[in-house]
């Protein structure tokens, strides 16, 4: 079991609050969603993400990333048989997914930018790997979407 680094958790919380505020403002400007209406859902998302950071700190030897833990926590909070499902989904549905992707992609770009020398060392191999990964992800997502939409009777 690892130790919780309170200073690091406070920093992560501040960053999450700033990103949450950026998303709420973006939603207000972009699609007109009231900040107060979306605030409970954003707080729930931030708490789920902070829970993932805490779990990651408690199990430092795990190779499972915090993003994976947040996905599992979100799944547990939203599955139909969970007692939190109704209230969680009701509030989180007020957050537009596309508004979340903007800061997420910005941080991903910054993360990649910090490792540019490592990417240079891979040279042409990174292009081949990227093509295979992007193609596999695209067809996997398309297949899953096809199955789900067919099961729902929408296609």
45 close to 20: Cβ distance less than 8 angstroms = yes
- Quote the CA–CA distance of 100 and 27 in Å, as a whole number: 9
DSSP category for residue 152: T
Q: What is the crossing angle of helices 85-92 and 35-58, to 10°? A: 120
Across the chain, where does the E strand assignment appear? none
Q: Supply the pLDDT for residue 47.
A: 94
Kindly report the pTM of this predicted structure: 0.71
Q: Supply the pLDDT for residue 42.
A: 94
Local confidence pLDDT in tens for the 155 residues of the chain: 668 888 999 999 999 999 999 999 989 998 888 999 999 999 999 999 999 999 988 888 888 888 888 889 988 999 888 899 899 999 999 988 888 887 877 777 777 777 778 777 777 887 888 889 889 999 998 999 899 888 888 88
- Quote the CA–CA distance of 36 and 14 in Å, as a whole number: 19
By CB atoms closer than 10 A (0-12, 13-18, 19+), residue 69 is buried
Q: Supply the pLDDT for residue 152.
A: 84
DSSP category for residue 128: H
Place of tokens 């957050």: 95
Q: Within 13 Å and on the Cβ side, how many CA atoms surround 52?
A: 22
Domain ranges of the chain: 6-114, 116-155
């Amino acid at each position: 079991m690892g130790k919780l680094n309170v200073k690091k958790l406070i920093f992560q919380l501040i960053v999450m609050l700033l990103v949450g505020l950026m998303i709420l403002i973006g939603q207000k400007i972009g699609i007109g969603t009231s900040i107060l209406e979306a605030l409970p859902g954003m707080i729930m998302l931030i708490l789920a993400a902070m829970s993932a950071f805490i779990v990651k700190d408690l199990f430092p030897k795990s190779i499972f990333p915090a993003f994976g833990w947040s996905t599992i926590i979100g799944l547990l909070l939203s599955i139909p048989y969970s007692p939190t499902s109704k209230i969680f989904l009701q509030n989180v549905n007020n957050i537009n997914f596309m508004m979340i992707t903007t800061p997420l992609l910005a941080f991903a770009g910054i993360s990649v930018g910090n490792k540019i020398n490592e990417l240079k060392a891979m040279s042409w191999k990174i292009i081949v790997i990227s093509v295979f990964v992007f193609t596999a992800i695209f067809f996997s997502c398309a297949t899953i979407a096809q199955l789900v939409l067919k099961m729902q009777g929408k296609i």
